[in-house]
Structure 1
Amino acid sequence: MGWGLTDPPQEEDGLALQEEAVPACKIEVPERLSVSYEALVRTGLSDRCVSVPPREASDAEILLVHSEEYLEGVKKTPHMTLEDLKEFTLQYGDVYFHPNIYHCAKLAAGSALQLVDSVMTGKVRNGMALVRPPGHHSMRSAASGFCVFNNVAIAARYAKQKHGAERVLIVDWDIHHGQGVQYCFEDDPSVLYFSWHRYERQKFWPNLRESDYDSVGKGSGAGFNVNVPWNEVGMENSDYLSVFCHVLLPVAYEFCPDLVLVCAGFDSAIGDPEGEMCATPDIFAHLTHLLMNLAGGKLCAVLEGGYNLTSLAQSVCQTVQTLLGDPLPQLANLRSPCESALESLQCVRSVQRRYWSILKHAADSATTDVSNKRIKLAKAEEEKAETAEDERSQEEKVWPEPAERLRPPVCSASVLPDDAACPDGLKRLVSSKDLGPLLVSRIRNRSMEDAGDADGVATFSRLYTLIEKMRTNEIGNGVALVPDVAAAVECVVQDLGSDLVSRVLVVCVGKEELNYATADGKMLVVQISGEDKEEQKGKYYIPVCLKKGCGDTVGFIQAVFGLLLPLGYEYDPGLVLLVRMPGSGVGDCMWQQLIGLLKGFAKGHTLVLMQTNDGACMGPTASALLGHPAPPLQELLTPLPDDGGALERMRERLQADWKMLQTTVSSGNGETAKS
């Protein structure tokens, strides 16, 4: 199994013709592909990918989306005079046809199809197609916004027709609304289209009313179109993550796609002249990671926009490196989502809750008074903003170079009893560090009911070694089978981890009582079980009760996306400790999904603790730790009203301390919530 990268096609430069005929097109340059590919070569990422050669899309494939009349018109462009090309171009908006663009557009669409073939047949696990011209604005009978053929829409219909995909998820993180994709699938319940885009209450291109949050699809496709409009510029990493956690991921898991297609436009990154957003390139590592356990890992990213060549190349590398399975960068110092982002988030959740049971308990839309006040404030600032626009566009945005993402020499290790078999791919730790008499004495004082003293000390000595090697990045992650998981947790977090890691995120699945203090912030404990716990032991202990227990997949998913992931991103741990208590009841598929999602924190340093008699779960655990995609979850049932309501009330209660849990706009004076 490999990771695919389509070779960028060779193109002729029509820039001089573009600038003369359509000045807006001057930013869509061939260097967009060359700098991206050169960055992949320079960093060695291209050498780790399976090369997928480009090909031209056939007429039949293009006609899956476009009209025959439009295709025949584009076919004539290579033979037109310059004046004829200009006249043909002026039929459409912000697009230019030069003599070679028909060939390039066929290669762009065909390259996306080549990638779909490679992923759907299992030749590669996932991949990215570096193509131009982009495609998501192109409509059935019209070019638009630099786009000639709609590469991703064609790919979706092709996957359904040739490979039998029943449900396709399209995630469009380009800064412009992909209206061509929306129009293509707005009445089709087999394709879920998600788009966030700069909107500014319809003042930003393509200036369409149907780009707003309440355009949810038509007929049987109602609810399968999800628009998140950005009504202000300057959105940051926290804004993007909030929308993923509180809208996209819950809906996507309920949809349960067979294939994920990404309209990978990087004009939503910092420094881009079109987007004017402030999200850094490393956010795309996390967005990609969060999608990779859907559809059994079958994901195809297809390049769309991105016009700052520096942030474009960095963002492409971050995306490809994540597809290759490298540890994710840490997103430190996440701030609260801004008020404008929260307003959009609240509106989207409110309008979509009638279609998706997992959002059933979302709050109502922002009140008319709050929305009107924000509109009035926006109008009051409009003249000032317009005056400063030219100055702002000339400002040179500066952001740090993405941190190097180093793969540890050992991906995954295990601490196991002598008589337990070690799963393939895991390194068995047999040696350990001398702990010293003081630490040994503390360990001996812990309860080890099912193990002799010597065995207990040896086990915890190996655990210490494993954690230390994670800290130095010699080992990526690990799993330990221990005789007493409660004692092991206490030992790790109070004796071992505190010496090595500044912050530990403890995720406990099961009802065993946890008895250690968490008030100093060195640990954040999130416990998911089927048992009511005391309300809270402070800010850093969060018990989540599911009435049907941890075997309730939809309730578990709600807890993970609505609480656990936002908490984890805001807490920013140095180690994740995942604890499977005896008799937890969590299913193997959900367990693998959980491990995969948690690997997005702490540069992937995740330690899984399980009881010795839970050894039957070692296979799924090892698979997830090694980076294999989790099997898709079964169809999610309607969540229990008690669970959904309780989780929503808990989220509302906790958001005073944890800002990433916010999903509603404040009713105050409308000022930004960012500190």
Structure 2
Amino acid sequence: MSGSALIYDKEMTRYKLLWTDPVCEIETPERLMVSYEALKSKGLEQRCESFPIREATEEEILLAHSKEYLEAVKQTPHLSLEELRTFTQQYSDVYFHPNIYHCAKMAVGATIQLVDNVMTGKVRNGMALVRPPGHHSQRNAANGFCVFNNVAIAAVHAKNHYNLSRILIVDWDIHHGQGVQYCFEEDPSVLYFSWHRYEHRSFWPYLAESDFDGVGKGKGAGFNINLPWNKVGMTNSDYLYAFFQVLLPVAYEFDPELVLICAGFDSAIGDPEGHMCASPEIFGHLTHLLMSLAKGRLCVVLEGGYNMSSLAQSVCQTVQTLLGDPTPVLASVGSPCHSALESVQNVRAVHQNYWNCFKHIGEQELLCVRSLSFLHFPQGLHDRASVMQAVLCLLLPMAYEFDPGLVVQVLGKCNSKQEVPIWAQLTSLLQGLAQGKTLALLQVSTDMARAGLWASLSGSPGPSLGPLGTPLAENMEALEAQRQRLKSQWGLLLKTGVSSIFNDFAKP
């Protein structure tokens, strides 16, 4: 399985706002046009596999929407301009057009086609450039420029058609995708992660359930992870910190069979909605960090993004990474801001009862060790949960902050079936550094180990690690001691919270 799909059709640009609305005027056809033209100008479109788009069927739309809502939207092509305006007024921050029902069916169909092509092995991964976006739309309502919930429908489709029991949805749009949350908040087979501008509920959509304690309901408790940004100006460092300290540890423990990204690029610098400072290059790295999950089955679906320059650059960075190109250099990665530290710690604390990777946070974070030490993996590679904690929460943060020009891996004995997947995953993750320049030295190994390492060095996704249990307490204590020794030198190792804020910020 290789290659990347690009799903696009110009037809989805053929609707626009027909009246004056300051809220909705930023959602324009140009969003799709500039994204596609940027891919063409860089030669990326030609390197991708293309597939014809079809409209979604009514049965597919009904996977996430009610019959009553679908019937209402079906009438919009026949409404007059005044009737469309009246119809629009029953929903929040959205507009309708005579052609939007057709385009919305194409957006859902394109997303489903991408999932089908990935799940059947025609391609390894891909991106769907679609419009209208989807993650705000709900069972009975359009919302936030969204008519049908493209990713939610595709996730249910994937569960039904491919018998999947674990799907990860990552939403890096700057707005909370409440429609996706509502769809799966009681479903433990779908893990939904969203970071979003929140500012203590003063930013749209102003929902209490968008805060860090919105964890899901019933059997789905713990499978909804909201990371609220309570200030603007978040940087590459803040985004990486959220991935290393929250998303990736949970994602590896969840062990998804498919990863879907609600790719809103209004979280990039210059966007009039986000007011964040993360560069377009960060999305190449975020994409790379997710590519070793689910055996590489990764589907990226466009959501928001309203600054034409940063949108186009961010789309290109994402597609380049999907194609296997080296990830770009990230400048000035360092300490996350205090607000990001606080949000991350709140999320980790509230999810402590749901995820093994957070089980041992607490008293050990009160240690105050100031001497410097080198990082060593915890004893016993067979404790895969502890090893992955070391990789995700210690090694990768320091490596990204260090920004090496070359990565050298020195592997000792690598012979057992338990060790090979760990080293292969580590190798895949480290490929995001030094623009992929990696030298691996194997001291003693088997053919299986060499084959696994070579596959990862060649760009294949790391093998699944299977279910990760609870990390051993003694290993987690050792890792926390290392973090305490190293945090004064490495900003991405900081933590905060009610109990540990003094230790991390009160420097002599």
Q: TM-score, with normalisation over the residues of structure 1?
A: 0.72
What SS class does the counterpart of residue 387 from structure 2 fall into?
helix
Cα distance, 1:198–1:281 mapped onto 2, change above 3 Å: same
- Give yes or no for the alignment of 1:595 onto 2:419: no
Tell me the residue number matched to 1:261: 260
CA distance in 2, matches of 1:295, 1:16: 39
* Rg larger for: 1
CA distance in 1, matches of 2:490, 2:415: 27
Tell me the residue number matched to 2:212: 213
CA distance in 2, matches of 1:16, 1:293: 40
CA distance in 2, matches of 1:270, 1:111: 28
What SS class does the counterpart of residue 265 from structure 2 fall into?
coil
How do 1:216-227 residues align onto structure 2 when only pairs under 5 Å count?
216-227=215-226
CA distance in 2, matches of 1:551, 1:114: 39
Tell me the residue number matched to 1:524: none
Residue deviations 1:224-245 (CA, integer Å, cap 9, x gap): 0000000000000000000000
CA distance in 2, matches of 1:554, 1:331: 28
* Greater shift in the superposed pair: 201-210 or 45-54: 45-54
CA distance in 1, matches of 2:14, 2:125: 30
Instruction: Tell me if structure 2 keeps the 8 A contact 1:173–1:197.
Output: yes
What SS class does the counterpart of residue 336 from structure 2 fall into?
coil
Match 2:377 to one of 537, 544, 550: 544
> Cα distance, 1:669 vs. partner?
13
CA distance in 1, matches of 2:206, 2:169: 22
Cα distance, 1:359–1:51 mapped onto 2, change above 3 Å: same
Structure 2: which amino acid aligns with 1:294?
L
Instruction: Tell me if structure 2 keeps the 8 A contact 1:9–1:104.
Output: no
What SS class does the counterpart of residue 124 from structure 2 fall into?
strand
How do 1:292-371 residues align onto structure 2 when only pairs under 5 Å count?
292-363=291-362
CA distance in 1, matches of 2:437, 2:362: 35
Instruction: Tell me if structure 1 keeps the 8 A contact 2:272–2:307.
Output: yes
Structure 1: which amino acid aligns with 2:11?
Q
What SS class does the counterpart of residue 113 from structure 2 fall into?
helix
Residue deviations 1:544-599 (CA, integer Å, cap 9, x gap): 332xx112211111110111100101111111110111367662111111100011
What SS class does the counterpart of residue 11 from structure 2 fall into?
coil
Instruction: Tell me if structure 1 keeps the 8 A contact 2:413–2:444.
Output: no
How do 1:61-140 residues align onto structure 2 when only pairs under 5 Å count?
61-140=60-139
Structure 1: which amino acid aligns with 2:441?
L
Gaps of 5+ in 2: none
Structure 1: which amino acid aligns with 2:36?
Y
Structure 1: which amino acid aligns with 2:168?
L
Instruction: Tell me if structure 2 keeps the 8 A contact 1:9–1:54.
Output: no
How do 1:484-499 residues align onto structure 2 when only pairs under 5 Å count?
none
CA distance in 2, matches of 1:344, 1:223: 17
Residue deviations 1:264-304 (CA, integer Å, cap 9, x gap): 00000000000000000000000000000100000000000
Tell me the residue number matched to 1:571: 402
Tell me the residue number matched to 2:202: 203
CA distance in 1, matches of 2:189, 2:506: 38
> Cα distance, 1:670 vs. partner?
12
Structure 2: which amino acid aligns with 1:7?
Y
CA distance in 2, matches of 1:343, 1:672: 15
How do 1:402-421 residues align onto structure 2 when only pairs under 5 Å count?
none
Instruction: Tell me if structure 2 keeps the 8 A contact 1:554–1:639.
Output: yes
What SS class does the counterpart of residue 127 from structure 2 fall into?
strand
Structure 1: which amino acid aligns with 2:466?
Q
Residue deviations 1:41-88 (CA, integer Å, cap 9, x gap): 000001110002211110000000000000000000000111111111
- Give yes or no for the alignment of 1:640 onto 2:469: no
- Give yes or no for the alignment of 1:235 onto 2:234: yes
* Greater shift in the superposed pair: 125-134 or 652-661: 652-661
CA distance in 2, matches of 1:165, 1:660: 35
CA distance in 2, matches of 1:12, 1:83: 22
CA distance in 2, matches of 1:241, 1:121: 31
For the aligned residue pairs, the C-alpha RMSD in angstroms reads 2.1
Structure 2: which amino acid aligns with 1:8?
D
- Give yes or no for the alignment of 1:619 onto 2:459: no
Instruction: Tell me if structure 2 keeps the 8 A contact 1:137–1:145.
Output: yes
CA distance in 1, matches of 2:319, 2:194: 21
Residue deviations 1:147-194 (CA, integer Å, cap 9, x gap): 000000001000001111111000000000000000000000000000
Structure 1: which amino acid aligns with 2:451?
G
Match 1:560 to one of 391, 403, 424: 391
Tell me the residue number matched to 2:277: 278
Cα distance, 1:633–1:15 mapped onto 2, change above 3 Å: same
Tell me the residue number matched to 2:153: 154
Tell me the residue number matched to 1:46: 45
Structure 2: which amino acid aligns with 1:150?
N
CA distance in 1, matches of 2:13, 2:299: 26
- Give yes or no for the alignment of 1:628 onto 2:460: yes
The 4+ residue runs of structure 1 with deviation greater than 4 A are: 583-586, 612-616, 668-673
Cα distance, 1:340–1:121 mapped onto 2, change above 3 Å: same
Gaps of 5+ in 1: 368-534
Structure 1: which amino acid aligns with 2:419?
G
Structure 1: which amino acid aligns with 2:407?
V
CA distance in 1, matches of 2:126, 2:406: 29
Tell me the residue number matched to 2:169: 170
* Greater shift in the superposed pair: 28-37 or 643-652: 643-652
Q: TM-score, with normalisation over the residues of structure 2?
A: 0.95
Structure 2: which amino acid aligns with 1:100?
N
CA distance in 2, matches of 1:663, 1:106: 45
CA distance in 1, matches of 2:270, 2:141: 30
Cα distance, 1:333–1:103 mapped onto 2, change above 3 Å: same
CA distance in 1, matches of 2:86, 2:414: 71
Cα distance, 1:50–1:651 mapped onto 2, change above 3 Å: same
CA distance in 2, matches of 1:6, 1:359: 38
Structure 1: which amino acid aligns with 2:340?
A
Tell me the residue number matched to 1:191: 190
What SS class does the counterpart of residue 271 from structure 2 fall into?
coil
How do 1:419-438 residues align onto structure 2 when only pairs under 5 Å count?
none
CA distance in 2, matches of 1:208, 1:26: 23
Instruction: Tell me if structure 1 keeps the 8 A contact 2:289–2:429.
Output: yes
> Cα distance, 1:540 vs. partner?
6.8
CA distance in 1, matches of 2:501, 2:170: 31
How many residues were matched structurally? 500
Cα distance, 1:292–1:540 mapped onto 2, change above 3 Å: same
CA distance in 2, matches of 1:287, 1:268: 12
> Cα distance, 1:541 vs. partner?
2.6
* Greater shift in the superposed pair: 276-285 or 627-636: 627-636
Instruction: Tell me if structure 2 keeps the 8 A contact 1:246–1:663.
Output: no
What SS class does the counterpart of residue 542 from structure 1 fall into?
coil
User: Quick one: percent identity of the two aligned structures?
Assistant: 60
Q: Which has the higher contact order (CA 8 A, sep 6+)?
A: 2
CA distance in 1, matches of 2:8, 2:183: 27
Residue deviations 1:379-415 (CA, integer Å, cap 9, x gap): xxxxxxxxxxxxxxxxxxxxxxxxxxxxxxxxxxxxx
Instruction: Tell me if structure 1 keeps the 8 A contact 2:410–2:443.
Output: no
